[in-house]
Amino acid sequence: MISEDKIAEIRDRAPIADLIGNYVVLKKSGNSLRGLCPFHNEKTPSFYVHPNRGFYHCFGCKASGDVFSFLMHVEGKTFPEIARDLAEQTGVQLPVYDAQREAEFQRNKKQSDRLADLVEKATSFYCEQLYEHPDGGIARNEFLDRGISEESARKFRLGYAPHGWESLAHFLDRTGASPEDAEAVGLIVPRRSGRGHYDRFRHRLMFPIADVHGRVVAFSGRALSPAPSMEEQKEPPAKYLNSPENPLYHKGEVLYGLHEGRVEIRREDATVLCEGNFDLVALHQAGFQNAVAPMGTAFTEAHARLIKRFAQKVVLLFDGDKAGRKAVREAYTTVNKLGLSAHVVSLPQGADPDSFLREQGAESLRTRMVRAPTILEYFIDDPAASVEPNPHAKADAIGNLGPILAKVESPIERGLYVERVARKFGITDVGLVRRELRRGLGRRSDRPAPPRDAVRQPIATPVSELQSKLISLLIDQPTLIHDEGARKLPKLLTSPDLRAIFDSILRMVDRQGSLDVTALLDELNDSQLRPWLEAKLAVQEHDLEEARQILDEGVPMLEQKNIEHELPRLQQRIVEARRVGDDALAAGLTREFVELTRSAHKLKSNMRQR
């Protein structure tokens, strides 16, 4: 906890105009400063900073606050993180509440700062070598030939790692850097025989990788054509060589370009996710400054959480090949789990963002982004466009969509996607599509395949078609659970599994007003009816009015069926009671029999009147 006095002291010492000026170009306007708002798109400046009051306000999106709220919004950090950062920058001493934890924090920070300073020195060395080394021109030509400008190269601090074995090692030694530290961050490698180290990166175009705070934590080096002075290589080097994971760098938690693009991402409320180093730089140069790229790994949950700190939408812009389509499928699970809105831009076969921009231009790519389908629409459209024109292939492709659409929580969205499947595959009967989607759930790809000699077990289904129909209505339209007819169901349902489903729906509607599909499946994980429930959740069959009408008609029918089932059982019990001479029990059961018979007649009469 930080006292209000300390917060006020930090606020007084932190120059809000200078700090905001790192993110927004501000110009004098009376007693205030004015610029384009970093939180929303605008062409006319409506964002004002009042230095004397330590306050900012946007007359467009109404964002306002002090230096703390601004940095929290832009950097995606928590208040304590921002307060500690500003305290260090302004020289404010924060009180120590836990000496042991504070000492550990300071030790870790001291090591982290030392290693980061070392990586920064290496970055500066590579940048200098790009222009000072005799072979630096080979590296410059590598990006210039791709249309990357010198300005973009300076923005991303591209550099050149000389082909000598110890160029960087000797430089770091002259600066007094520890070889152990340089080895720890993956800049140099110990020799296999003898003492000393050699450079990890040699004769490569260097891409410094910064974390979200702008601190360089790793490098990605691209192989270059051999220099005239180099010895002949026995075998070609790997196209890209990346830093190993180290105390500063965990590849599953760092996105290339996030620091450079975080303000634009916040302004657009969208991130463009690409795959390659050149793709990233080319996109920023072409005006897509909200682009980011994972480094040497697939898109992870940690990446998605990073993005979600700044935006709710992610546009997947991968290569137009089989690997790119696979990357989209792998990203779906992650974005779906984190609740990100995902869209997919399809590129021509063999194209990547870098080559597409060079050949067709930024406006052509922007048009594709504006028209980009949602990731679920992409999963429908892509196979529909490439499936073989025969019934079996179409049925198989539609079935494969069953497990995907089953994860859509909104019944309305699910219904619209089902209609899209029918339209894209050229099938006029939407009911046939629904049945094929249900069939597809029986062969879900995310479940382990059964042994070849295993006996196929049939999917458990409810014992009563009418009871299952009524529960299906409540799954489609959960708000009906408080209707008069639905309130009778707990006493009428004879299946414990259906009663459990009813109880779960009731709790969710009472608690949050809607149905949480994931939570429902989790609650009913051990239910015999889970496969049936999954199939039901895949599609919506009834709108609200239709569901209410069927419910109003179905509940009396279920009451009637239950009575008809109970009457013979009561007769048997009456006969048994008389046989053993229990006249009192027989009389009570007879009265119950008469009352049920009257109820049955009344229900029949009411149903006829309907």
Q: Indicate the residue among 332, 352, 372 that finishes a domain.
A: 372
Confidence of residue 333 (pLDDT cuts 50, 70, 90): confident
The residue type of 189 is: V
Mean pLDDT of 524-541: 72
> What pLDDT is attached to residue 540?
63
Residue 357 and residue 282 share a domain: yes
Task: State pLDDT tens for residues 161-183.
Answer: 999 899 999 999 999 999 999 99
Mean pLDDT of 26-34: 87
Residue 242 and residue 257 share a domain: no
* Average pLDDT of every residue of the chain: 86
Burial class (CB in 10 A: 0-12, 13-18, 19+), 309: middle
Q: Is residue 556 part of a domain?
A: yes
SS3 274: coil
Task: State pLDDT tens for residues 436-448.
Answer: 888 887 654 444 3
> What pLDDT is attached to residue 605?
66
Q: Indicate the residue among 90, 122, 149 that finishes a domain.
A: 90
> What pLDDT is attached to residue 96?
67
Residue 245 and residue 115 share a domain: yes
SS3 608: helix
Q: Is residue 131 part of a domain?
A: yes
Mean pLDDT of 50-63: 85
Lowest mean pLDDT among 193-197, 326-330, 418-422, 549-553: 193-197
C-alpha pair distances (Å), 101 with each of 107, 214, 304: 10, 26, 29
Residue 235 and residue 140 share a domain: yes
Residue 595 and residue 524 share a domain: yes
Q: Is residue 396 part of a domain?
A: yes
Residue 530 and residue 478 share a domain: yes
Q: What is the CATH number of the domain that holds 64?
A: 3.90.580.10
Residue the block writes with tokens 């304590």: 80
Number of compact structural domains in the chain? 5
> What pLDDT is attached to residue 446?
44
Q: What is the CATH number of the domain that holds 169?
A: 3.90.980.10
Q: Is residue 609 part of a domain?
A: no
Q: Indicate the residue among 206, 225, 249 that finishes a domain.
A: 249
Residue 420 and residue 295 share a domain: no
Going by C-alpha positions, the residue among 236, 291, 231, 239 that lies closest to residue 265 is: 291
Which of 199-208, 321-330, 466-475 has maximum average pLDDT? 199-208
pTM: 0.65
Measured at the alpha carbon of residue 383, what is the angle toward residues 379 and 388, in degrees to the nearest 5? 170
Q: What is the CATH number of the domain that holds 502?
A: 1.10.860.10
Residue 206 and residue 149 share a domain: yes
Q: Is residue 521 part of a domain?
A: yes
Containing structural domain, residue 390: 381-441
Going by C-alpha positions, the residue among 460, 470, 478, 479 that lies closest to residue 499 is: 470
Residue 242 and residue 112 share a domain: yes
Task: State pLDDT tens for residues 383-438.
Answer: 998 888 888 889 999 999 988 888 887 888 888 999 999 999 999 988 888 888 88
Residue 113 and residue 86 share a domain: no
Q: Is the pLDDT of residue 607 over 70?
A: no
- Asked whether 374 and 410 are in contact (CB, 8 A), the reply is no
Q: Is residue 95 part of a domain?
A: no
> What pLDDT is attached to residue 356?
94
* Long-range pairs of 303-307 with CB within 8 A, sequence gap ≥ 24: 303/252, 303/253, 303/255, 303/334, 304/334, 304/335, 304/337, 304/338, 304/340, 305/338, 306/76, 306/212, 306/253, 306/255, 306/258, 307/255, 307/265, 307/271, 307/273, 307/340
Q: Is residue 97 part of a domain?
A: no
Measured at the alpha carbon of residue 265, what is the angle toward residues 289 and 346, in degrees to the nearest 5? 65
> What pLDDT is attached to residue 311?
87
Q: Is residue 99 part of a domain?
A: no
Residue 46 and residue 34 share a domain: yes
Residue 261 and residue 245 share a domain: no
